[in-house]
């Protein structure tokens, strides 16, 4: 029976232990073995959790194995790390607890000033979102068949006609052209003014809705309840077009 010699392979660049193998007998020398490069006859120790075994000039050694996703201590951003050994100072294997935390040398620590700044920024972002939606909703109120300039002239004419007591012998030209079939000049004037009043009422509803939403958003963000803030924003955005 031929005895076999177990050898242990290491990565040629990193020295990382790759696993066992068997040496080939030396055909030129009886009882001798061919040991390939980066292979060793002494067995490595078992690797602990989070460790890898590497071959160094001193033999097999256990080193930290933190390869994979790690985090930048400056931003908390995830990055891929591919090297064995301790992490550089600008990296950590601990994920950032929240955007309100800063790296404090060995752990993430809550930073109250950063927390307040993040909340202010979030509030501004949510408010800007509401302002944009409000502007779009207000613009939609003017999206009708009557051009803005024409409507303004019609409103001015209707107001003047009402103030004058609806004289039948002095009907402003805009009322004559905008009247419906069979509609009197007085009825046309009142319809135009009522439509304008309704438009202002709808605009007031929109503004009040956004003002109330902004206050609720500010309170939710101040409480640190971002889920509630997102719900308030979503609900308000759904209501805006319906008014």
pLDDT number for residue 1: 46
Q: How far is CA 203 from the centre of its chain?
A: 31
H runs (alpha helix) in the chain: 112-141, 148-163, 173-178, 185-222, 226-239
- Give the contacts of 151 (CB within 8 A, at least 6 positions apart): 192, 196
Per-residue pLDDT of the chain (243 residues; tens, 9 = 90+): 457 899 999 999 999 999 999 999 988 888 899 999 999 999 999 999 999 999 999 999 999 999 999 999 999 999 999 999 999 999 999 999 999 999 999 999 999 999 999 999 999 999 999 999 999 888 877 655 556 778 888 889 889 989 999 898 888 888 888 888 888 989 989 998 998 898 889 889 999 999 999 999 999 999 999 999 999 999 999 988 755
Q: How far apart (Å, rounded) are the C-alpha atoms in residues 203 and 199? A: 6
Contacts 24+ apart (CB under 8 A), 122-125: 122/221, 122/226, 122/229, 123/217, 123/218, 123/221
Task: Decide if 192 contacts 158 (C-beta within 8 A).
Answer: yes
CA atoms within 13 A on the CB side of 99: 9
Q: How far apart (Å, rounded) are the C-alpha atoms in residues 210 and 222? A: 18
Q: Which residues pair with 68 in a beta bridge?
A: 81
């Amino acid at each position: 029976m031929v005895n076999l010699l177990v050898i242990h392979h290491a990565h040629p660049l990193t020295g990382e232990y790759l696993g066992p193998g068997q040496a080939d007998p030396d055909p030129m020398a009886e009882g001798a073995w061919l040991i390939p490069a980066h292979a060793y006859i002494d067995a490595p120790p078992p690797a602990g959790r989070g460790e890898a075994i590497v071959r160094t000039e001193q033999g097999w050694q256990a080193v930290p194995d933190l390869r994979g996703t790690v985090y930048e201590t400056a931003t908390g951003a995830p990055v891929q790390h591919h090297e064995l050994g301790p992490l550089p100072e600008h990296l950590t294997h601990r994920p950032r607890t929240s955007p309100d935390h800063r790296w404090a040398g060995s752990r993430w620590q809550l930073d109250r000033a950063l927390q307040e700044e993040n909340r202010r920024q979030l509030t501004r972002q949510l408010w800007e979102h509401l302002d944009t939606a409000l502007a779009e909703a207000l613009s939609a109120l003017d999206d009708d068949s009557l051009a803005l300039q024409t409507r303004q002239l019609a409103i001015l004419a209707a107001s003047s006609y009402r103030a004058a007591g609806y004289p039948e012998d002095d009907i402003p030209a805009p009322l004559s052209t905008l009247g419906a079939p069979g509609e009197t000049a007085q009825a046309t004037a009142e319809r135009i003014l009522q439509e304008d009043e309704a438009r202002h009422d709808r605009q007031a509803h929109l503004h009040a809705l956004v003002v109330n939403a902004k206050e609720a958003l500010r309170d939710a963000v101040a409480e640190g309840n971002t889920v509630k803030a997102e719900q308030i924003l979503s609900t308000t955005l759904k209501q805006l077009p319906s008014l």
